Amino acid sequence: MSPREMLPEPELEFVFEIRVRVSDELRIGRSAQEVLHFVPITGGTVTGPKMTGEVLSYGGDWFVERGDTVQLDARYVLRADDGSLIDIHNRGYYRAPQDVEARLQAGEFVDEREYYYRTAPVFQTDSEQFRWLANNQFVGMARDDGGLICIRVFWLR
């Protein structure tokens, strides 16, 4: 076995789920090939083994539609139960086959593996307890859950 074949696979550890409430989408527009939208973030919750708290009603998601792929760029603030404030900048991509998109629009629960809704959250904070969030890489698996945007955040160990 070559040294390259012995390299370890990435390990993921679930840290928390963010459940974000959003307001109505605003279509800003840009060109014929892409459309910019903005969705205000109005609150939410954070629950999991590494942190619990709330999503504050500051920030939003600026996303660009390009054909069948949506590029996401959300920025908002989390407050942990101990009062620590944590900035999150969450970028990613969304795309779904038409039949899956129709099921989502109808309010049906669709398994995360049936469509691509992935993010790469980056955190900033001066909190000693949560400084580890700002010093590590994370990935998110997102889904629409009854009008909430839910992101399961995993620590890339």
* CA proximity to 121, closest of 101, 102, 149: 149
Total number of domains in the chain: 1
Residue pair 85/132 in contact (Cβ under 8 Å)? The answer is no
Does residue 112 belong to any structural domain of this protein?
Answer: no
pLDDT per position as a tens digit, 58-98 = 999 999 999 889 999 999 999 999 999 999 999 999 999 99
pLDDT per position as a tens digit, 97-109 = 999 989 988 888 8
The mean pLDDT value for 136-149 works out to 91
Mean pLDDT score of the chain: 93
What pLDDT is attached to residue 109?
86
Instruction: Give the residue, 80 or 6, on which the prediction is more confident.
Output: 80
Q: Which residue segment(s) compose the domain that 122 sits in?
A: 4-104+117-156
Does residue 109 belong to any structural domain of this protein?
Answer: no
pTM for this prediction = 0.90
